[in-house]
Amino acid sequence: MIQGTGSNVGKSMLVAGLCRALTRRGLTVRPFKPQNMSNNAAVTTDGGEIGRAQALQALACGVPPHTDMNPVLLKPETDTGAQVILHGQRLTTVAARDYATLKPRLLDGVLQSFDRLKTEADIVLVEGAGSPAETNLRRGDIANMGFATAAKVPVILTGDIDRGGVIAQMVGTHAVLPDTDRALIEGFIINKFRGDPALFNEGLAEIATRTGWRSIGVLPWFPDAARLPAEDALDITGATGGAVKIAVPMLSRIANFDDLDPLKLEPSVTLEMVKPGEAIPGDCALILLPGTKSTIGDLAFLRAQGWDIDIAAHLRRGGRVLGICGGYQMLGNTLSDPEGIEGEATTVKGLGMLDIDTVMTPDKTLESVTGRDLASGAPVSGYEIHIGETTGPDRARAWLEIGGKPEGAASTSGQVAGCYIHGLFASDAFRQAFLQTLGAPASALAFQNTVEETLDALADHLEAHLDVQTILDLAR
């Protein structure tokens, strides 16, 4: 099990790289994360949803994603509450203060998934969440040491030297852990090192002396990590240098933002992530409204930033707007939540840029899809993961055909469009055709090949700098 001294120390990338490295050694490998908190989800082959990082790790193993790889997924809807997904399906929505009461039930489900994975793999690589040093959360824990204890798995602790204070991260974690948890840690990794790793030899010795843990290696900074899909919204970055600018407002509950990953890698695209308090740039060719875990809440958030005014001005200048999933719903006339699925039962006005209306319903659509772009004929593939049913006159101008049925809506001017399909831009032919309508030249980017090549490079990086054999030897 790879745990971290904190969030965002590189656990997901480490597990993905090890998945690819050990798979290339001929082992049958499976990734596993007992509990994840993310609004960036992937649809699985068994009809559920898991964290996007575990889907990437499954790809690194060369297998389809399955709900057993991430049995508990928490999807924040507010600052104090989240939707709880168990084995890929919505279980309930719970306030943070009440989540502890669910943990015993969830641990049973976690261990069931882990046991199933063990039967089909030579090795299961487990990823922790946050940090085991949050000892106030230890009671009932299912994400870190609570799981490691219940499943009897050894732990390797990872620290991020780039943020500074990595010796304190390691030694401090050792100091606050109870003896039983401390005994589960077999070694440590120093991640994101810049410069000559030999300069940290004294630091390694100090950590080993103070903790009794062995060093598994110092991992230099891997700049190509940015070419792999990010899971945490804090990791979303833009891209500069392209002639065509696409602006993406950073909604407070932005979800399934892997839609942006292929656009970041396109040489003709400047992808600008517009932060709260910033204006949407007036020189963009396209405003892309992304998915969100809380459409009505984020519509209010969008208006509070003044982005609705910026979008209207953009359309007056002849610009284009594309909404995906929650962003698509926002573009309509009304959003109704009669059963209070996202909060209080309510009906609110949308942006009124598409002649459609959306009603939130309890049933969630979770499906991998294929089809084609009606304008170019280019094949597309992706996935749906949403609640709500959308109707209205602009649906008659569907611009996609998915599973033989029309999908999406467009305004009479053609400037505004939307759909429920995530992952469209990973389809190379569609992406090229779409970007050319914005004035971008054709490029040779093959997105999926780029991801596979980057996973191979990450595996090479880990093999070169970590004691991978010791990691294997530690596995029980």
The residues carrying an active-site annotation are: 325, 422
Helix (H) or strand (E) holding 84: strand 81-86
Say how far apart CA 231 and CA 10 lie, in whole Å. 11
At residue 221, what are phi and psi to the nearest 5 degrees?
-55, 135
Q: Annotate 284-313 with DSSP letters as a single string.
A: -SEEEE-EES-HHHHHHHHHHTTHHHHHHH
SS3 labels along 48-59: CEEEHHHHHHHH
Q: What is the SS3 assignment for 81?
A: strand
Cβ neighbours, 10 Å, residue 312: 13
Identify residue 468 by its one-letter amino acid code.
Answer: V
Q: 256 Cβ partners below 8 Å, 6+ apart?
A: 39, 40, 41, 52, 290, 291, 324, 325, 385, 422
Q: In angstroms, what is the C-alpha Rg of the chain?
A: 23
Residue 415 CA: distances (Å) to CA of 363, 409, 469: 31, 11, 56
Q: Annotate 327-348 with DSSP letters as a single string.
A: HHHHTSSEEEETT-SSSS-EEE
Residue 455 CA: distances (Å) to CA of 67, 144, 298, 463: 22, 25, 34, 12
